[in-house]
Amino acid sequence: MRLGLTDDQLAIKEVFAGFFGKESTPAVVRAAEPGGFDPKLWRRVCETGAPGMGVAEDAGGGGASLGDLAVVAEEFGRSIAPIPLIDHQVAARVLARFGGARTDVTDGETLASFALRPAVNGSWWLVPGGSVAGLTIGLDGDELVAVESAPPAAAPRNHAAQPLADRSTAGARTVLASGDAAHAAFDRALNEWKTLTAATLVGIGAQALHMALDYVQSRIQFGKPIGAFQAVQQSLADLPIAIDGGRLLAHKAAWAGDNEAAGVDGHLDIDDNDNSNFAVLAGMAFVFNADGAAHATDRSLHFHGGYGFAEEYDIQLFYRRARGWALVYDDPARECGRLADTMFGPRESVR
């Protein structure tokens, strides 16, 4: 048992904290609005190997575990970098898993995205990264496919300035898997996406807390820093709890995902609070951190007072991404319903 990071992971954390801290400043984030994509930053991140680091080594990637990717994701979230890194990493891993690893994707030269919802009427709705990706991985009926096609010119204007787009299933189409295997692969990839998104949201929440602490210690009202008032303190004291709890949960999901990939099946006994099931932990991590990041950014913005609402302050950038980067998948309440199906069994008494 070791709940913290390994030495390798600590090194990864340091590298990416440095990279994103330097390359994805709030000015960079702001400049990339509303489209939500900075091609130069993408090129720079490709130099770090991050886009393909989760691809197996024998497929030409970095061989990083999901746990390692979660460490990167938190730093990515902390800087709300305007690149669809998580989506690309998940897509690249799916490709490699089905023998379709492509150097251009592993290198990040071709940007890939992962459709979070099965296609309806030949279209994947609001694919994150979809406005910039040349390759879309998604479920189309009973097939898991990779479709190569030119991305649209622009993303619809959206809350978090994400590079979203609806993408067609038409194009140069490769079938990666069919039938049950396709559905299983889609589920696996979606669980990876939820896990890494959860870690990203931990980073957003942690950074929002950091910004709040800076502000409340320097803003003086009534002759004191506002952070000296219990009204502020009691509310901020909840944030590190949710952040730490959310990080542990995201890490446990990643650990369970790595175990599952290694053929070690998880265990699920909710009655005994004993749970190492990847799908359940990924869903839990998504729900808990979607709420946690929304709350942390809400409180941080609030304690910035009027300035928190001003466009020129940075906290509003985080506030919007805490919401957008989670809800692009779904309502956490509906995810709870799906978790209940796994944890408590299907609704047998209802037709």
Partner 1 sequence: MDFELPPHVIEFRNTVKRIIRDVVTPEMIDEMHTSGTFTNHTLNRALAKEGLLERAVPGMGMGDPLELWVLFNELEKAGAPYDGISTSIMVAGVVQQVGTDEQKQAMIPTVVSGEALVCMGYSEPDYGSDVASIVTRAVRDGDEFVINGAKMWTTMAHEAKWLILLTRTDTEVPKHKGLTMFLLSMDTPGITVEPVHTMGTERTNATFYDNVRVPVSAVLGEINGGWRTMAVALAFERGVMGGTNVAVPMLRHFRKWAAKHIGDDGVALIDDTLVRERLARIAIDNEVAKLLTQRSAWIAASGGLPGLEGSMTKVFASEAYQKAVRWCQQMAGPAGLLQFHEPNAAADGWIEYDSRHSPVTTIYGGTSEINRNNIAERHLGLPKAR
Name which of residues 210 to 249 contact a copy of itself (CB under 8 A).
229-231, 233-234
For residues 196 and 86, give the distance between their C-alpha atoms in angstroms, rounded to a whole number: 7
Output the smallest distance, CB 228 to a copy of itself, in A.
Answer: 10
The yes or no reply on residue 27 touching partner 1 (CB under 8 A) is no
* Binding string, residues 78-117; x marks residues near partner 1 by CB under 8 A: ----------------------------------------
Pairing of strands 135-140, 224-225: unpaired
Output the smallest distance, CB 43 to partner 1, in A.
Answer: 27
Query: SS3 for 120?
Result: strand
Residue 229 CB contacts under 8 Å (≥ 6 apart), including other chains? none
Report the candidate in 195, 196, 90 with the shortest Cα–Cα distance to residue 138. 90
**CB under 5 to 8 A by kind: which of partner 1, a copy of itself, none does 32 bind?**
none
Q: Nearer to a copy of itself by C-beta: 230 or 349?
A: 230
Q: Nearer to a copy of itself by C-beta: 25 or 235?
A: 235
The yes or no reply on residue 349 touching a copy of itself (CB under 8 A) is no
Cβ neighbours of 187 (radius 10 Å)? 14
Given 72, 145, 296, 328, the residue binding partner 1 (CB under 8 A): 328
Sign of CA dihedral 75, 79, 83, 84: positive
Write out the binding residues for partner 1, residues 193-232 only, by CB under 8 A. Answer: 209, 213, 216-217, 220-222, 224-232
Contact call for residues 28 and 73 (beta carbons, < 8 A): no
The yes or no reply on residue 272 touching partner 1 (CB under 8 A) is yes
The H or E element that residue 127 is part of is: strand 123-128
For residues 119 and 116, give the distance between their C-alpha atoms in angstroms, rounded to a whole number: 9
Contact call for residues 163 and 130 (beta carbons, < 8 A): yes
Query: SS3 for 22?
Result: helix
Dihedral through CA 303, CA 304, CA 308, CA 309, nearest 10? Answer: 60
Q: Nearer to partner 1 by C-beta: 26 or 60?
A: 26
Write out the binding residues for partner 1, residues 115-174 only, by CB under 8 A. Answer: 120, 125-126, 156-160, 162, 164
Write out the binding residues for partner 1, residues 231-260 only, by CB under 8 A. Answer: 231-234, 236-238, 240-242, 244-246, 248-249, 251-252, 254-256
Given 21, 39, 141, 337, the residue binding partner 1 (CB under 8 A): 337
Report the candidate in 346, 202, 349 with the shortest Cα–Cα distance to residue 288. 202
Q: Nearer to partner 1 by C-beta: 105 or 190?
A: 190
List residues near a copy of itself by CB under 8 A.
Answer: 229-231, 233-234
